[in-house]
Amino acid sequence: MANEAVEWLANVSRHCRKLIELAGVAIRDREEAEVAATRDALRAALQTHRDALQALLPEDFPRSRIGDLNRHIGFCEPNDWYDIILADVPDILAKAETYAVRNFSENTRGIEEYIHPRFRPRLELAMRADPPDYHGLILACSVDLATLFKRKSGSNDDSDGEVGRVFNRENPVLIVPADLQTETQRNIQRGALLLMQGWRAFIRNPHAHEERPTDREYMVHSLMLMSLLARIVDGARVVERG
């Protein structure tokens, strides 16, 4: 989930920042840090954040400089402090960012580009929840699509009869193809009508009447269908009445 990714990366970043801060103070106060007692205290502090950081990294975390970090903390010499700041921690943090994007963004990755812009904000918000409310998302997007249809056509509702009136082939309110001169063009117009009515019967009305058991795959397919319908409505031409 997105929230989980943010929390995990924030924890990784916090310990990385502490490691850099501790090594940086040692460099700044080098003379003091080279005193045995101070160095032992520094090493212990570094090890605390190293252990916490290592505990956060999952088994499938990409190969990183965590081993180098362990070695540099163990020696804890001035050159090691520079390596911690300039090499070890930046490498671990960069790989953590990549890991978070790759492993925690599966919820929406590859979906948004196929979803109509009207629905994307709702999709993003829904996928931040744990667990996501797929039923609520489908219902909310259905309301958005119905609103788009009514605004474009000037209709008061989106009933089957109104959809039929708006997209009928003889005296339409909205024309989907360039015109209705050929049989293919008339079939496209009829197809838009049937798709819109099918969406209402199969998706919108069932979700409006009761909470439906819905998984991620069904949600994606539903939003893709509604995205196609939103694109059809967006691109339709309003027939001017004389």
pLDDT at 101 over 70: yes
State the SS3 of 150-219: HHHHCCCCCCHHHHHHHHCCCCCCEECCCCCCCHHHHHHHHHHHHHHHHHHHHHHHHHHHCCCCCCHHHH
More confident residue, 82 or 241: 82
Distances 96 to 81, 85, 99 between C-alpha atoms, Å: 21, 16, 5
What digits encode the pLDDT tens for the residues 205-231?
A: 999 999 988 998 999 999 999 999 999
Report the candidate in 215, 236, 235, 225 with the shortest Cα–Cα distance to residue 115: 225
Helix (H) or strand (E) holding 109: none
Domain residue extents for the chain = 2-104, 112-238
For the segment 156-209, what is each residue's pLDDT rounded down to a tens digit? 999 999 999 999 999 999 999 999 999 999 999 999 999 999 999 999 999 999
